[in-house]
């Protein structure tokens, strides 16, 4: 539960020394409670108080990071049960299972295919995030397979074995890539937690007998000092899994029950009879509330629709998708090429840029930050008006790239053309483009500077 300013104040030194930049400890406490500064800004707070404050400020579902750098998968930190309440935060990682009893060529084939899963949609790259390697034999074969996969991909790994010695052998090869260890249970948790701490890797806790036993083991592991934990409720069927996932989310968010306040890993193939059912089960887990979804296979027919669903569910409903403000080159435009201006709403950008590409007329597309609103909405909201467009065109640098002075505006804003010309100065001529993007190819083909 979040602490109030007064709760925090009680844990501060109360010397009002001002070194944090605030006149009193109380003022500092109020800022800290509002999340506007970090506890580290006070050099005199005790380690014990710092730990308590950081613990109290921790999100109800812990953040877990698997892998490193640009390929890292971040999960957890969810704050709501329903997307419309606010937003979902971290999309679940999609991955595949690779068992070490496969032949080397089968393993290579699986990894090659998962490397190739990548789609660009509304400015985002949708791709697979994880490879779960499962031990079925001994440490020697497991490490051999882990080594092979590590040489074939930069996708982060899940190391799956209940034998700590097998996990350790693979960690010696991969720990710098921060793999997820799977899995600790009531019998091996001390050794597994020891490995997770030693190699600074997150750890999956596997349920032996329902959620109560899962919470019991998780709590013991957390008491050993491990923070990055992932849960596997090992539910026996889809309906039980759905209940478990909802129960875990509710327990963490509504009851602030720390032992279940972690992201969940799921394996839809365990509840599926075939590839098609696996896709359906995965869709259920995606909606309710998986942090990682490990597939038996992730062919394009399965990956693309589920990744689009993932993208849609994890788009913040309060923030339209946007592209960066700037001048975009379509084709190889030159000084005589047409110049178009529109807003930075992703959908607007992609529709307009696609039609410009279709025209095969190289063009300059000036995308203005209108807070992600579409053309008419932005105009109505005062975000895409002559007073704003003119300064944007001047600072965009487009003037240095062209030798003409024509600016094409969306046809729906014909009424602003005169005012925009005034704002831009006499040297510019505003040309009214078509109302519908679909008419752009014909419009551009008849373009002359
Ligand atoms: Fe109080 Fe710490 Fe700020 Fe000094 S630095 S005023 S002790 S909060």
Question: Ligand 1 centroid to 62 CA: how many Å?
Answer: 28
Handedness of CA 444, 324, 129, 295 (dihedral sign): negative
Question: Ligand 1 centroid to 39 CA: how many Å?
Answer: 10
* Predicted local distance difference test score (pLDDT) of residue 426: 64
Q: How far is CA 262 from CA 35, 80, 89, 234, 254, in A?
A: 22, 14, 14, 15, 14
Ligand 1: atom nearest CA of 21 is: 3
Ligand 1: atom nearest CA of 17 is: 4
Pocket probe mutation, ligand 1, options 14, 15, 38, max atoms within 8 Å of Cβ: 15
Question: Ligand 1 centroid to 33 CA: how many Å?
Answer: 14
* Predicted local distance difference test score (pLDDT) of residue 321: 81
- Summarised one tens digit per residue, pLDDT across range 313-339 is 998 888 778 888 999 999 999 999 999
Q: Whose CA is nearest to atom 4 of ligand 1?
A: 17
Of 75, 58, 59, nearest in space to 67 by CA: 75
Q: Does domain 326-445 have CATH number 3.20.20.30?
A: no
* Predicted local distance difference test score (pLDDT) of residue 56: 74
Mean of per-residue pLDDT scores for the chain:
94
Question: Ligand 1 centroid to 11 CA: how many Å?
Answer: 11
| Average pLDDT rounded to a whole number, residues 74-93 | 93
Ligand 1: atom nearest CA of 29 is: 8
Q: Which residues line ligand 1 (CB under 6 A)?
A: 12-13, 15-20, 22, 25, 28, 42, 44
The CATH code of domain 5-57 reads 1.10.15.40
Residue 23, token pair as written in the block:
């006149």
Question: Ligand 1 centroid to 48 CA: how many Å?
Answer: 16
* Predicted local distance difference test score (pLDDT) of residue 239: 96
* Predicted local distance difference test score (pLDDT) of residue 360: 95
Question: Ligand 1 centroid to 71 CA: how many Å?
Answer: 39
Pocket probe mutation, ligand 1, options 19, 47, 50, max atoms within 8 Å of Cβ: 19
- CATH-assigned architecture of domain 64-313: Alpha-Beta Barrel (3.20)
Question: Ligand 1 centroid to 41 CA: how many Å?
Answer: 8
The least confident of 28-42, 61-75, 164-178, 294-308 is 28-42
| Average pLDDT rounded to a whole number, residues 240-248 | 97
Residue ranges of the domains in the chain? 5-57, 64-313, 326-445
Own/partner contacts of 74-77, CB < 8 Å, gap of 24 or more, are: 75/230, 75/263, 75/291, 75/292, 76/262, 76/263, 76/291
| Average pLDDT rounded to a whole number, residues 161-168 | 97
Q: Whose CA is nearest to atom 8 of ligand 1?
A: 25
163 pLDDT above the threshold of 90: yes
User: Where does the pLDDT of residue 32 fall: very low under 50, low under 70, confident under 90, or very high at 90 and above?
Assistant: confident
Ligand 1: atom nearest CA of 24 is: 6
Question: Ligand 1 centroid to 22 CA: how many Å?
Answer: 7
Question: Ligand 1 centroid to 4 CA: how many Å?
Answer: 17
Pocket probe mutation, ligand 1, options 14, 28, 45, 47, max atoms within 8 Å of Cβ: 28
Ligand 1: atom nearest CA of 25 is: 1
Pocket probe mutation, ligand 1, options 5, 11, 16, max atoms within 8 Å of Cβ: 16
User: Where does the pLDDT of residue 2 fall: very low under 50, low under 70, confident under 90, or very high at 90 and above?
Assistant: low
Burial (0-12, 13-18, 19+ Cβ within 10 Å), 411: middle
Question: Ligand 1 centroid to 59 CA: how many Å?
Answer: 25
Q: Whose CA is nearest to atom 1 of ligand 1?
A: 25
* Predicted local distance difference test score (pLDDT) of residue 318: 80
Residue 423, token pair as written in the block:
């704002």
1 pLDDT above the threshold of 60: no
Question: Ligand 1 centroid to 31 CA: how many Å?
Answer: 12
| Average pLDDT rounded to a whole number, residues 436-440 | 95
């Amino acid at each position: 539960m979040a602490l109030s300013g007064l709760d925090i104040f009680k844990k501060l030194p109360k010397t009002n020394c001002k070194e944090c930049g605030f006149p009193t400890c109380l003022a500092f406490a109020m800022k800290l409670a509002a999340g506007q500064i970090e506890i580290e800004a006070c050099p005199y707070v005790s380690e014990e108080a710092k730990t308590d404050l950081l613990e109290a400020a921790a999100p109800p579902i812990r953040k877990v990071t698997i892998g490193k750098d640009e390929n890292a998968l971040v999960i957890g930190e969810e704050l709501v049960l329903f997307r419309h309440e606010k937003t979902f935060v971290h999309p679940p990682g999609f991955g595949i299972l690779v068992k070490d009893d496969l032949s080397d060529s089968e393993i290579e084939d699986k990894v090659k295919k998962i490397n190739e899963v990548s789609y660009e949609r509304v400015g985002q790259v949708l791709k697979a995030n994880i490879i779960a390697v499962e031990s079925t034999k001994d440490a020697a074969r497991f490490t051999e397979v882990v080594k092979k996969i590590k040489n074939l991909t930069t996708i982060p790994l899940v190391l799956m074995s209940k034998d700590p010695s097998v996990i350790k052998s693979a960690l010696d090869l991969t720990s710098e890539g921060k793999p997820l260890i799977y899995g600790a249970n009531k019998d091996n948790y001390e050794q597994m937690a020891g490995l997770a701490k030693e190699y600074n890797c997150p750890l999956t806790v596997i349920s032996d007998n329902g959620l109560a036993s899962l919470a019991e083991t998780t709590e013991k592991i957390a008491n050993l000092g491990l923070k990055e934990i992932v849960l596997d409720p090992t539910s026996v069927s889809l309906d039980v899994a759905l209940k478990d996932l909802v129960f875990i989310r509710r327990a963490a968010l509504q009851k602030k029950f720390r032992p279940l306040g972690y992201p969940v890993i799921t394996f839809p193939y365990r509840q599926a009879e075939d590839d098609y059912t696996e896709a359906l089960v995965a869709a259920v887990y995606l909606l309710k509330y998986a942090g990682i979804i490990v597939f038996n296979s992730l062919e394009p027919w399965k990956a693309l629709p589920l990744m689009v669903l993932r993208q849609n569910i994890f788009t913040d409903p309060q923030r339209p998708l946007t592209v960066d403000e700037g001048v975009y080159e379509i084709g190889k435009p030159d000084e005589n090429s047409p110049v178009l201006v529109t807003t930075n709403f992703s959908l607007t950008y992609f529709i307009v840029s696609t039609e410009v590409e279709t025209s095969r007329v190289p063009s300059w597309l000036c995308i203005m930050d209108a807070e992600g609103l579409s053309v008419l909405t932005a105009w109505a909201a005062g975000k895409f008006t002559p007073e704003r467009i003119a300064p944007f065109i001047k600072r965009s640098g487009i003037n240095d790239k062209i030798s003409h002075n024509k600016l094409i505006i969306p046809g729906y804003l014909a009424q602003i053309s005169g005012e925009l010309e005034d704002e831009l100065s006499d040297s510019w001529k505003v040309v009214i483009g078509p109302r519908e993007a679909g008419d752009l190819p014909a419009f551009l083909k008849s373009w002359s500077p």
